[in-house]
Amino acid sequence: MTEARTAPPAATPPADAPAPAADPPSGGRGAARPRAKAARDAEFTAFVRSDGTRLRRSAYLMCRDWHLAQDLAQHTLARMYAVWDRIREETNLRAYSRRVLMNAVFDQQRRCRGAEVVLADVPDRPDPAPGTPELRLALVDALARLPVEDRAVLVLRHAEDHSVDAVAAILGVSVPAVKMRSARALSRLRALLGEDFPDR
Amino acid sequence: MTTDLRDQFDRAVGDDPGAALDELADAAIVEGGRLRRRRRRVAAGAAAGVVAVLGAVAGLALSAEGPGADPDVTLAAAVQPVTAPSCVRQPVEIGATDAVVVLAAGATPAQRTALDAALRDDPRVGAHLFESREQAYERFRARYADNPDLVAAVGADRFPEAFRVRLDAADRYPEFRSRIAAAPGVAQVIGRRCAPDAPVGGVL
């Protein structure tokens, strides 16, 4: 079909290339010998042990569903594993994984949004008087009411403590846009959570 | 603020049912190994062939994307517009001459109209045009006419609405981008650096 990576355009192996080339174009490195695979798997597993929980939790904050979060985390990690030989040298695998995760979340917005609709439709609590902060939504419920892009900024910036610059790089938006979304999202959270929400 | 906020977020994940990380890794290795093999096959096909779909999710995300990553991701890449030949293939953050303003899936007609007006009145914008979901879909069908399976797998609803924009001055792209990216209904802004003969927006 097509190639979505922008990396080396024509350097991909021809269709009849010997099967076991592990890492497409990067010069014959690492035929998939069992030892190379074992080493790769060990390295990858170590990364999952160190970062998997945080990744799952961020996925949960994005989608408010632990099962979906597990799926998203696994999916993210699988995509990283598929290109592990290329990315393992990256200084910041964690930032890389967040980029993959957020893209997956954006792709899956419908599933995430499904959760929001359910929330919006629940009529089980009396309408609060306007302006009073007793919605008492849990933070995740309030997050679910934000646009997914704003949610991503909050999770990366405030749950995970990435710098504004890092968030901008992960999401591929400008630094001012990150600041803007963060401020907007925080003020919406404050409106939703009322006095429970720590003031700046 | 940050500390308190961190606490809140930490508490929000307090009901984490937990997961065995080694099992998670094993599952990812199995799934990822499949992606790897499929990607190799797809890459081989692409070499013989043709286009580079510049999947521009979030501008720079694509280092992560391979086609054939999985059905969903493959489609996500395939529905992205293709960078025009006279443009730099990688989207740029600064110095873009052209941009695609992708609308959010839930963008309302009113937001679209407002955006249209904003682009029309923006002195930095030389030209802009709207691409509807249906138009994007038609382009996609034409592009992949030789891949009926792919075409059959994708409906028009997969395609975002978008504005294609030509800027008058490339050095004003960052300010353009931050303004437009913040407008309601905008999912992302993807800049490209193109020769003057490129189509507006820098994509086919």
On whether residue B45 sits in a domain, the answer given is no
Average pLDDT of A62-66? 89
Indicate if the pLDDT at residue A7 is higher than 80. Answer: no
Per the model's pLDDT, the better-predicted residue between A8 and A111 turns out to be A111
Token code pair at residue A47: 């990364």
The pLDDT, as a whole number, for residue A114 is: 46
Indicate if the pLDDT at residue B125 is higher than 90. Answer: yes
pLDDT class of B3 with cuts at 50, 70, 90: low
- The chain A residue lying nearest B60, using CA atoms, is A172
Task: Please state, in angstroms and rounded to a whole number, the distance separating the CA atoms of residues B58 and A100.
Answer: 10
Q: What is the 3-state secondary structure (H, E, C) of B122-188?
A: CCCEEEEEEECHHHHHHHHHHHCCCCHHHHHHCCHHHCCCEEEEEECCHHHHHHHHHHHHCCCCEEE
Task: Please state, in angstroms and rounded to a whole number, the distance separating the CA atoms of residues B87 and B91.
Answer: 9
On whether residue B52 sits in a domain, the answer given is no
Query: Do the chains contact at A106 and B21, CB–CB below 8 Å?
Result: no
- Domain assignment of residue B169, given as a range: 98-192
Indicate if the pLDDT at residue A21 is higher than 90. Answer: no
On whether residue B166 sits in a domain, the answer given is yes
Which tens digits make up the pLDDT trace of A73-96? 999 999 999 989 888 887 689 988
On whether residue B102 sits in a domain, the answer given is yes
Indicate if the pLDDT at residue A194 is higher than 80. Answer: no
At a CB cut-off of 8 Å and minimum separation 6, what does A168 contact?
A: A174, A175, A177, A178
β-bridge pairing B98-103 and B186-192: antiparallel
Domain total for chain B?
Answer: 1
The pLDDT, as a whole number, for residue A141 is: 85
Average pLDDT of A10-26? 41
Beta bridge partners of B98: B166, B192
Indicate if the pLDDT at residue A125 is higher than 80. Answer: no
Token code pair at residue B171: 């050095």
Residues in chain B: 204
Cα separations in angstroms, B195 against A180, B49, B104, B169, B202: 32, 24, 28, 13, 9
Task: Please state, in angstroms and rounded to a whole number, the distance separating the CA atoms of residues A67 and A63.
Answer: 10
Residues of A in contact with B69 (CB under 8 A): 4, 79, 82
The pLDDT, as a whole number, for residue B76 is: 65
- The chain A residue lying nearest B183, using CA atoms, is A177
Which of A106, A158, A199 has the CB atom closest to B2's CB atom? Answer: A158
Task: Please state, in angstroms and rounded to a whole number, the distance separating the CA atoms of residues A93 and A51.
Answer: 9
Residues of B in contact with A82 (CB under 8 A): 32-33, 35-36, 39, 66, 69
The pLDDT, as a whole number, for residue A111 is: 64
Residues of A in contact with B51 (CB under 8 A): 2
β-bridge pairing B186-192 and B162-167: unpaired
Which tens digits make up the pLDDT trace of B31-77? 999 888 887 776 665 544 433 343 333 333 333 334 434 455 456 66
Average pLDDT of A144-162? 92
Query: Do the chains contact at B72 and A172, CB–CB below 8 Å?
Result: no
Average pLDDT of A113-119? 46
On whether residue B159 sits in a domain, the answer given is yes
Q: Which of A6-15, B72-81, B136-145 has the highest mean pLDDT?
A: B136-145
The pLDDT, as a whole number, for residue A137 is: 56
Average pLDDT of A101-128? 59
Indicate if the pLDDT at residue A112 is higher than 70. Answer: no
Q: How far is B131 from chain A (nearest CA, A)?
A: 20
User: Please, what is the average pLDDT of chain A?
Assistant: 75
Q: How far is A25 from chain B (nearest CA, A)?
A: 10
Indicate if the pLDDT at residue A172 is higher than 50. Answer: yes
Q: Are A79 and B62 in contact (CB under 8 A)?
A: no
At a CB cut-off of 8 Å and minimum separation 6, what does A167 contact?
A: A153, A156, A157, A178
Per the model's pLDDT, the better-predicted residue between B164 and B86 turns out to be B164
Task: Please state, in angstroms and rounded to a whole number, the distance separating the CA atoms of residues B191 and B188.
Answer: 10
At a CB cut-off of 8 Å and minimum separation 6, what does B186 contact?
A: B101, B102, B103, B104, B107, B115, B180
What percentage of chain A reaches a pLDDT higher than 70?
A: 66
**Where along chain A do its domains lie?**
34-196
- Rounded-to-10 torsion of CA A152, A153, A158, A161: 100
A34-196: CATH superfamily? PhyR, sigma-like (SL) domain (1.20.140.160)
The pLDDT, as a whole number, for residue A197 is: 66
List the 142-161 stretch of B: residues with Cβ below 8 A of A.
Answer: 144, 147, 150
Phi, psi of B63 (to 5 degrees): -55, -25
Instruction: Assign residue B9 a region (left: φ > 0; alpha: ψ between -120 and 50; beta: otherwise).
Output: alpha
* CATH number of B186's domain: 3.30.70.3040
Mean pLDDT lowest for which of A96-100, A195-199, B58-62, B167-171?
B58-62
DSSP state of A25: T
Q: Are A61 and A159 in contact (CB under 8 A)?
A: yes
Indicate if the pLDDT at residue A183 is higher than 90. Answer: yes
The pLDDT, as a whole number, for residue B153 is: 77
Cα–Cα nearest to A54, from B178, B164, B154, B13: B13
